[in-house]
Amino acid sequence: MKKQLLLAAFLFACITCFAQQKTEIKLQYLLIIRFKTDFKPETDTTVSVNIKHWRVYMGDLTQSGKIVGGYRPSGDGITISGTQKVITKTPYTANNDLVSSVLVINADDLNDAKAIAAKCPALELGGSVEVRPIMNTAGK
């Protein structure tokens, strides 16, 4: 009887611990921000207003704890493709779209991530934001 009670207590403790760990797992999403390679702003004012919106957007993400990281690749780079490892001396573009920024965010679910992406200032200038769930494969 004591063994059964100890086993039951142990199992209950394990389940409780697992349930707590499971609720602490944060969902992360990748926001891939793209612009047309031939994008030309209408005016300098358009750009300066958009930069202000970016500062507010990133500040809000920081203050809310939603931002994990943000990266802006340069316009330079190469693309290596296929089994022949063909090198193109430009970054990858598709449909005249080029990745201009990548953000990693914490979100409650896909709807939360979509709401965050919908506020992205890139959209004001005709850019696009792709939202994709990600998982950490680095083991950290």
6-16 pLDDT, tens digit per residue, is: 444 444 444 55
- What tokens appear for 78 in the block? 């190469």
Per the CB < 8 A criterion, the answer to whether 110 and 131 are in contact is yes
66-90 pLDDT, tens digit per residue, is: 999 999 999 899 999 999 999 999 9
Region 2-29: what's the mean pLDDT? 54
Task: Using the predicted structure, report yes or no on whether residue 102 has a pLDDT greater than 90.
Answer: yes
* Predicted pLDDT at 140: 60
* Predicted pLDDT at 137: 79
CATH pick for 24-134 out of 3.10.440.10, 3.40.50.11540, 1.10.3720.10, 3.30.70.1060 = 3.30.70.1060
For the chain, give every domain's residue range. 24-134
* Predicted pLDDT at 26: 75
- Distance CA(132)–CA(27), nearest Å, equals 11
**Mean of per-residue pLDDT scores for the chain:** 86
